[in-house]
Chains A and B, each alone.
Chain A
Amino acid sequence: MKKTLLAAGITMLLGTTAMAQNIGVTMAKFDDNFLTVLRNGIQAQADAAGLSVQIEDAGNDVAKQLDQINNFIASGVDAIIVNPVDTSATQAMTDAAAAAGVPLVFVNRQPINLDTLPDNQAFVASNEVDSGTLETIALCDNWAAEGKTEVNVYVLQGELSNQAAVQRTADIYDVIAAGKCAVKVNFIDQQTANWSRDEAQNLMTNGVSTGAAFDGVIANNDEMAIGAIQAMKAAGIDMATVQVGGVDATQDALVAMAAGDLDVTVFQNAAAQGSGSLDAAVALSKGEAVENAVWVPFELVTPANIADYTAKN
Chain B
Amino acid sequence: MTQQSAQHGVGGLTYDARKRALPPELNVLFALIAITVVFELLNRWNGTSFLFNTRESLDTLFNEQRINIILLQVAITGIIAIGVTQVIILGGIDLSSGSIVGATAMITMSFGQTALVNGNPNPKAIFGDAWMDLPVIAPILVGLACGLFAGLVNGLLIAYTRIPPFIATLGMMVSARGVAKWWSNGNPISFPTESYASLSNGDMLGGMTFGLFSWSGQNPAVVFFLLAVLFHLIMSYTIYGTRSYAIGSNEAAARMSGININRHKVLVYAIAGLLAGVAAILLTSKTLTAQAGMGVMLELDAIAMAVIGGVSLSGGRGSIIGTILGALIFSVIISGFTSIRLDAYYQEMVKGAIIVGAVVLDTWRQQRRTK
Residues in A lying within 8 Å of B, measured CB to CB: 1-4, 6-8, 10-12, 14-17, 19, 24, 30, 52, 54-57, 59-63, 66-68, 70-76, 86, 88-89, 91-92, 95, 99-100, 112, 115-116, 159-161, 192, 194
Contacts and interface: CB of A to CB of B under 8 A. Distances in A.
B350 interface: yes
Contacts of A95: 201
Main secondary structure of the interface of B (DSSP, over half): helix
A160 B38 contact: no
A76 B55 contact: yes
Contacts of B108: none
B63 to A, nearest CB: 6
Contacts of A192: 186
Nearest to A69: B69
Interface of B: 31, 34-35, 38, 42, 45-48, 54-55, 63, 65-66, 68-69, 72-73, 76, 118, 124, 185-188, 190, 201, 216, 283, 286-289, 291-294, 296-297, 333-336, 338-348, 350, 353-354, 357-358, 361
Contacts, number: 155
A160 B189 CA distance: 12
Contacts of B289: 62, 86, 88-89, 91-92
A8 B38 contact: yes
A110 B75 CA distance: 29
Nearest to B192: A91
Nearest to A24: B338
A86 B291 contact: yes
Nearest to B185: A160
Given A6-B353, A56-B347, A57-B347, 17 more contacts: A1-B31, A7-B38, A14-B342, A30-B345, A56-B338, A57-B348, A60-B296, A62-B294, A73-B65, A76-B54, A92-B201, A92-B286, A92-B287, A99-B216, A160-B185, A161-B187, A194-B186
B65 A15 contact: no
9 contacts: A3-B357, A8-B38, A55-B343, A61-B296, A68-B338, A71-B339, A74-B68, A86-B289, A161-B292
B286 A88 contact: no
A54 B358 CA distance: 28
B342 A15 contact: yes
* Closest 4 pairs between A and B when the two form their complex, measured CB to CB: A74-B66, A67-B73, A74-B65, A3-B357
A70 B344 contact: no
A99 B64 CA distance: 14
A57 B342 CA distance: 12
Main secondary structure of the interface of A (DSSP, over half): helix
A51 to B, nearest CB: 13
Contacts of B361: 2-3
B291 A3 contact: no
Contact of B35 (A4, A12, A76): A4
Contacts of A67: 69, 72-73, 334
Interface centre among A19, A68, A74, A86 (most CB of B within 10 A): A74
A161 B189 CA distance: 9
Nearest to A59: B297
Contacts of A11: 42, 340, 342
Nearest to A91: B288
Nearest to B32: A4
Contacts of A12: 42
Given A63-B76, A63-B286, A6 B357 contact: yes
B118 A92 contact: no
A177 to B, nearest CB: 21
A8 B47 CA distance: 17
Contact of A4 (B34, B72, B288, B293): B34
Contact of A161 (B186, B297, B340, B342): B186
B219 to A, nearest CB: 14
Interface centre among A14, A67, A89, A99 (most CB of B within 10 A): A67
Contacts of B358: 3
A57 B345 CA distance: 8
Nearest to A65: B287
A95 B198 CA distance: 13
A36 to B, nearest CB: 12
A159 B186 contact: yes
A68 B344 CA distance: 11
A63 B354 contact: no
A89 B343 CA distance: 25
A57 B340 CA distance: 16
B55 A14 contact: no
Given A7-B35, A75-B339, A19 B333 contact: no
Contacts of B190: 88-89, 91, 112
Contacts of B35: 3-4, 7
Contacts of A62: 287, 289, 291, 294
